[in-house]
Amino acid sequence: MSPRFPLLLGFSAFAVASLFGWSAAQASPVTATLSAQYFEVAGGTDPDFPGPTPTVLLGSTLGPNGLPVSTGGSTPDVNPGTNEITWWSPSLNSNVTATGSGTISLPYSSNMYAPNSTGTNDATEFETAVFTGTFTLSAAEAVEFQLGSDDDSFIYVDGILIGSNPGIHAVTNVDFTSAVLPAGVNSIEVFYDDREQIGAYLSLDLLTSGVVITPIGVPEPGTLALLGTGLAGLAFFRRRQKRSQSAA
C-alpha cells in the first residue's frame, strides 16, 4: 500500500467527521439566512386590516398550526378552536393569499409591500410574512436579536415568544434576549404583518456572535465549506496517487 493511502483515508475521514460532527458555533462569524413565506390580504376584505390587536403574552408557545396564540383581546381573525391568529394562514383565513417564498439574510432591513416585499406601497394589499430558520449551539447560552417593525412582529425561539412589537404603529426597534438555550439545534420563527396603509417595514438582526442561522433544511455554511475543502483534498491526493502508479 502506498504510504500516501493511509493519509488519504485519514483526510477523507476528517472531511466526513467535519460535515457531521462539528458545531456551526465553532465556525465563528455571525451568519444568518432564514426561509421566507409571503402572504397578502386585499384591502377592505379583512376586519383586522386595520383593526384591533390581540394580546400575545411573552413566554407563550405557538399553536397546533404553528401560529401565534392570542391570550386576550379576541379579534375576528383569532381562530375560535385554537385561539391562533390567522393572518399568515390561507387555510384558516380565506382573506389571506400565499404569494411566494424565498430567503432573507441578516442583518435584514426592508419595506414590506406585497407581493413578496417587491411592491412600492400598500394602497391595495397588505403583506404578511413568516421567516424561519435553525441554529446550532455548541454550549448552552442565551441569544440576542434586534427586531424593528411597522406594524406587528413576533419572534419565537424554540416555539416560545421571546419578544414582540404588537399593534399598528410606526417603526419600533427593540432588542430581545432569549432564555438560556440548550446546546444543539434550536429554531427561530419571526411573524410579520402590515395592517394599515401608512408604511410597512421590517428589520431583523442577530446580535450574538458565533451563531450561524440557516433556513430549514439547508446545511450550515461552515459545514459546506469544510466538506468542500475535504473533497478538494481528496481529489488532489487521488491525482498524486495515479501519477505515482504511472511512474512505477
Residue range 28-42, pLDDT digits in tens? 345 799 999 999 999
**Domain spans in the chain, listed from the N-terminal domain onward:** 1-24+219-248, 30-209
- Which stretches of the chain are DSSP H helices? 4-21, 221-247
- Select the more confidently predicted residue: 242 or 166: 166
Is the distance from CB of 36 to CB of 103 less than 8 angstroms? yes
pLDDT at 123: 95
Give how far Cα 93 sits from Cα of 76, 81, 84, 238, Å: 10, 13, 11, 58
Strands (E), 94-157: 96-105, 108-111, 125-137, 144-150, 153-157
Residue 92 CA to residue 3 CA, distance in Å, equals: 65
What is the strand order of the sheet 108-111 is part of?
108-111, 201-206, 144-150, 172-177
In single-letter form, the type of residue at position 132 comes to T
- Select the more confidently predicted residue: 189 or 247: 189
Among the listed residues 204, 196, 116, 194, the one whose alpha carbon sits nearest the alpha carbon of residue 162: 204
For residue 93, pLDDT beyond 50: yes
Confidence of residue 75 (pLDDT cuts 50, 70, 90): confident
Residue 96 CA to residue 128 CA, distance in Å, equals: 9
- Lookup: cell for 147: 427586531
For residue 103, pLDDT beyond 60: yes
Which residues have C-beta within 8 Å of that of residue 219, sequence separation ≥ 6?
Answer: none
In single-letter form, the type of residue at position 240 comes to R
- Rounded to an integer, the average pLDDT of 61-85 is 93
| DSSP letter string, 215-234 | -TT---HHHHHHHHHHHHHH
Residue 147 CA to residue 139 CA, distance in Å, equals: 24
Please state which CATH number belongs to domain 30-209.
Answer: 2.60.120
- Select the more confidently predicted residue: 170 or 247: 170
**Count of CB atoms situated within 10 Å of the CB of 171:** 14
pLDDT in tens, 138-169: 999 999 999 999 999 999 999 999 999 999 99
Is the distance from CB of 89 to CB of 67 less than 8 angstroms? yes
Is the distance from CB of 7 to CB of 234 less than 8 angstroms? no
pLDDT at 241: 56
- Lookup: cell for 243: 501519477
